[in-house]
Amino acid sequence: MADPAKCPPLTRASVVAAHSLVKPYIHYTPVLTNTTLTTLASTPQSVSALEGTPWAGQEPAKPKIRLWFKCENLQKVGAFKVRGAFHALTRLVAEEGWEEQGGRERGVVTHSSGNHAQALALAARTMGIPATIVMPRISTPSKIAATQSYGARVVFSGSTSTEREAVVADVIKETGARLVPPYDHPDIILGQGTLGLEMQTQVEEMIASGQGQAGEKTKKGKGLDAIIAPCGGGGMLSGTALSCEGTGISVFGAEPEFQGADDCKRGLAAGKRIESVSTLTIADGLRTPVGAYPWTIIHDRKLVRAMYSVTEEQIKAALRLVLERMKMVVEPSSVVGLATALYNEDFRRLVEQEGGEQGWDLGIVFSGGNISIEALGKMFEPAEKKA
């Protein structure tokens, strides 16, 4: 990767510049609407549904929410990660002296068990650069096969970050390859932020042309009020926040709360980044702690207004709704933002208070769709069958 000190500044203008670089390599993914989900989001939860939650005994919130879904599950490799990977490699190839010093032959390396592995493999193949991906031995076979199918060399390691990083160090010593981290680098953040730029333009155009929600009155001449995005390492959330800087669009993050996966939310409350997380949430793409660079955008610059968390059951309920009502395959990590809009009363009350009668046009980022049929089946099989 490029020296962070030599990277473009972390600004909206730099996200715009990143978009011009990656546009030839990525899909311009669609923004979709769904009347059923918009109606559900704008319907108060029942009093019984709030029993056993932090909001038990409270009057349910009555927000007015129009949902707009940015479908990165339809992106190349099935996830937004290709945006950052292509931006990082495009900048690396353009680095002064890189080619002359044998950079192309040495290649690139990363460690990942999922979407970043596939994204970097595809970007490297497209740009004629050898890629080595260090993957834990316990990685899903389908993800290993997909990474290999893009032409990368896969080297196996243990499952802990220490074990993976040790193997990466061996690869770098052996080949001289450049490390391309999954989220904690300015080039990655700027690349991921390009989805936020697209979403803003797409929703504005859809509203202007009357392609709003069926039966809903959208506000002509404006676009989104807010975007809510999943947060794992924070590269995409912080990039999206940069894309909205100065636009008046609020940005929120969503995390699973299971086994402390809501590290960014807890870190914001404590005023200090949490550097390690150990969780087996079903939203497996969000099991990593927020990186140092994303933290400067989320916390230090306060470009993310707030973080919210949801339960495993709420994630599963939102996932089922997308499968059954939108007929779309997404992974559990993708729906934490939707689950927040549907079930988190703190967020819903904020929308009610600030949106009033007019309500909010809320962008939801579907971050990816890489989940196997077997995993989906197991997730929704009856409890007695699991036993």
Q: Where are the domains positioned within the chain? A: 6-79+187-386, 81-183
Structure tokens at 102: 């044998």
- pLDDT-derived band at 19 (thresholds 50, 70, 90) equals very high
In CATH terms, are 6-79+187-386 and 81-183 the same topology?
A: yes
Work out the average pLDDT over 248-267: 96
Element containing residue 33 per DSSP (H, E)? none
Where residue 213 falls among pLDDT bands split at 50, 70, 90?
A: low
Per-residue pLDDT at 215 = 43
57 phi-psi bin (left φ>0, alpha ψ -120 to 50, beta other): left
pLDDT band at 87 (very low <50, low <70, confident <90, very high): very high
pLDDT at position 2 over 80: no
Gap between the Cα atoms of 289 and 358, Å rounded: 36
Structurally, at CATH architecture level, domain 6-79+187-386 sits in 3-Layer(aba) Sandwich (3.40)
Q: What is the mean pLDDT of residues 207-224?
A: 68
Half-sphere exposure of 108 (CA within 13 A, CB side): 32
Q: Average of pLDDT values for 174-201?
A: 95
Return contacts of 139-142, CB within 8 angstroms, 24+ apart: 139/113, 139/114, 140/113, 140/114, 140/372, 140/375, 142/372
At 46, is the pLDDT very low, low, confident or very high (cuts 50, 70, 90)?
very high
CATH number, domain 81-183: 3.40.50.1100
Catalytic residue list? 81, 113
